[in-house]
Structure 1
Amino acid sequence: MRAPPPSTSSAGLGHERIAIITGHPGVPCSSERRAGYRNAMAGAGLKVDPRWEACGNFQMHDALQATRAMFDELSEPPTAIFACSDAMALGVYWALAERGLRVPDDVSVVGFDDSPAAYHATPALTTVRQPWPELGAAGLAALVSDRPPARMEIETTLIVRAGTAPA
Structure 2
Amino acid sequence: MPVREIVMFPADVLEQPCKEVTTFDRKLSKLLADMYDTMIENDGVGLAAPQIGISEKIAIVDIDDQNGTIELINPVILDKQGVQTGPEGCLSFPGLYGEVSRANYVKVRTYNRRGKVRTLEAEGFLARAIQHEIDHLEGVLFTSKVEKYLDAEDLESTEG
Same fold, TM exceeding 0.5? no
Give the number of the structure whose residues are more often helix, by fraction: 1
TM (normalized to structure 2)? 0.31
TM (normalized to structure 1)? 0.30
Give the number of the structure whose residues are more often strand, by fraction: 2
* Rg larger in structure: 1
